[in-house]
């Protein structure tokens, strides 16, 4: 059974607990969502947009409180929490401003008829299953475009983020969203099938582990449900050349340790060509050891706690196994002797690409650096993975960077940056990293009925 509770990641203390929804109450949630959808889909688009804009204003007004909630729930430091909250507001405004363009009727060549066109219609009730690492933004990327489409949402957030998930619903309600169109539900993970088997539930979006994705996708396939999956990543950041190696190392270390390394798109494999490798490793160690690990609201904090005791212990266990498999631990990777779920950030080299750590995602604060003989070897290493979420190429030669980036097997490639996302451009991966796309026009299309109408005189 899922236990929904706020366990302060900074202290280890349980602050609030929330009861899971009994399985026999699940149909009532679906009833409310379905009835609300029938009315919501008839609500004019400009009225839906006005609610999202009001929601964005409320997010801005409540940014400090929202940030403090997730700082306690999962340890996100204040500065990064404020950045996440700001992105939620920007997403709401972008979806409100652009829905009419992407949901307007698409006119086709008549091809023997008087007219042919496609109406982009809502499907109905959707289930969201979202993780704890971006408690607000993960919800926003899925929910806000689908509210504009006219779908209704039942949201199962991670069990360690029950307060932030309810806060999201409360702000939507305050903004004027009709009751039942969006429902936060403390759903036990084992009861996902109880939702998806209902005919009125038309699909789901899941961001999380591969295991969770495979499990829910199997249920969805059983009942013919549409799905978007955003799963893990073992994302390469390839350093081909640079006039300023220390700067590149510091940027990549900062990106890797953001959110204590608990980001699907984090640069988990830093692949550096041989002539830059030694300097890069030295500068990365300096950058990691300069990070202050502290409480989320410490004004000087560089990295907060990881999300839970179990997560911290799993991360440390993976590091210890990697060392046993032959990797070199240059610094960090230890539990800190203080309350809360703190550890020292690590730097690892000499990782066997065929080892457990080389093949699988380490979801935590570990900088992992690989030596490449040359650019060809760097590309081989970058593509030596079954994942395919985000990648990046670092070079002073932008044309070379783009040509190299096109050859990486990933859903997203950035040149001289990493870990960017926004409502304006698509987000998603391939292979074991999942399928489907969020953000931009793809967000509106994921759960619509592309309804063809052909008219013959």
SS3 of residue 30 by DSSP = helix
Q: List all residues 6 or more positions away from 163 whose beta carbon is below 8 Å from its beta carbon.
A: 6, 16, 69, 73
| Structure tokens that stand for 293 in this block | 């690990």
Alpha-carbon gap, residue 213 to 433, rounded angstroms: 10
The sign of the dihedral angle between the CA atoms of 92, 97, 101, 105 is: positive
Q: Which of 73, 84, 194, 230 is catalytic?
A: 230
Q: Is 230 a catalytic residue?
A: yes
Helix ranges restricted to H, 41-158: 45-61, 63-73, 78-103, 137-149
Look up tokens 């911290």; give the residue: 312
C-alpha radius of gyration, the chain, whole number: 23
Q: How far apart are CA 429 and CA 365, in angstroms?
A: 22
3-class SS of residue 238: strand
Helix locations, 177-308, DSSP H: 192-196, 210-222, 245-257, 274-289
Q: In what order do the strands lie in the sheet with 434-435?
A: 182-184, 152-156, 125-129, 201-207, 226-230, 434-435
Give one DSSP letter per residue of 130-157, joined into a string.
Answer: --SSSTTHHHHHHHHHHHHHT-EEEEE-
Instruction: Give the CB-side neighbour count of residue 334, counting CA atoms within 13 A.
Output: 8
Q: What one-character DSSP code corresponds to residue 232?
A: -
The 8 Å CB, 24+ separation contacts for 322-328 are: 322/348, 322/351, 322/355, 322/356, 322/357, 323/348, 325/352, 325/355, 325/356, 325/357, 326/350, 326/352, 326/355, 327/351, 327/352, 327/355, 327/357
Q: How many CB atoms lie within 10 A of CB 328?
A: 13
CA 199, 204, 206 angle in degrees (round to 5)? 155
Q: What amino acid positions are annotated as catalytic residues?
A: 230
């Amino acid at each position: 059974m899922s236990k929904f509770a706020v366990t302060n990641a900074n202290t280890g203390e349980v602050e609030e607990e929330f009861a899971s929804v009994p399985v026999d109450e699940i149909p009532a949630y679906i009833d409310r969502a379905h009835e609300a959808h029938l009315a919501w889909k008839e609500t004019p688009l400009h009225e839906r947009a006005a609610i999202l804009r009001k929601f964005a204003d409320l997010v801005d007004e409540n940014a400090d409180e929202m940030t403090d909630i997730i700082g306690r729930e999962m340890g996100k430091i204040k500065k990064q929490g404020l950045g996440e909250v700001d992105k939620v507001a920007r997403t709401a405004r972008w979806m409100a401003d652009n829905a009419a363009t992407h949901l307007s009727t698409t006119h086709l060549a008549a091809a023997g008829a008087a007219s042919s066109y496609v109406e982009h219609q809502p499907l109905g009730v959707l289930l969201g299953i979202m993780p704890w690492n971006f408690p607000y933004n993960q919800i926003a990327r899925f929910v806000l475009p689908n509210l504009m489409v006219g779908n209704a949402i039942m949201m199962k957030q991670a069990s360690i983020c029950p307060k932030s998930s309810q806060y999201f619903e409360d702000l939507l309600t305050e903004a004027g969203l009709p009751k039942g169109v969006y429902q936060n539900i403390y759903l036990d993970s084992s009861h996902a099938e109880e939702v998806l088997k209902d005919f009125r539930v038309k699909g789901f979006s899941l961001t999380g582990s591969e295991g969770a994705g495979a499990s829910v996708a199997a249920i969805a396939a059983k009942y013919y449900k549409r799905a978007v999956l955003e799963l893990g990543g073992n994302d390469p950041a390839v350093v081909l050349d640079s006039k300023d190696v220390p700067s590149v190392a510091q940027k990549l270390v900062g990106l890797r340790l953001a959110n204590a390394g608990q980001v699907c798109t984090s640069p988990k494999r830093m692949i550096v060509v041989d002539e830059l490798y030694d300097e890069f490793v030295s500068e990365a160690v300096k950058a990691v050891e300069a990070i202050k690990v502290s409480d989320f609201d410490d004004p000087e904090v560089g990295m907060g706690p990881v999300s839970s005791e179990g997560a911290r212990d799993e991360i440390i266990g993976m590091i210890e196994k990697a060392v046993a498999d032959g990797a070199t631990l240059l610094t960090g990777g230890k539990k800190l002797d203080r309350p809360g779920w703190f550890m020292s950030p690590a730097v690892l080299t000499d990782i066997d690409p065929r080892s457990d750590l080389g093949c699988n995602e380490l979801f935590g604060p570990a900088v992992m650096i690989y030596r490449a003989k040359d650019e060809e070897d760097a590309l081989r290493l970058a593509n030596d993975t079954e994942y395919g979420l985000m990648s990046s190429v670092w070079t002073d030669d932008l044309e070379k960077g783009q040509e190299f980036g096109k050859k990486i097997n990933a859903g997203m490639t950035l040149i001289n940056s990493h870990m960017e996302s926004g409502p304006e451009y698509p987000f998603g991966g391939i292979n074991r990293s999942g399928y489907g796309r969020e953000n931009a026009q793809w967000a509106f299309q994921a759960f619509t009925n592309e309804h063809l109408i052909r008219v013959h005189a």
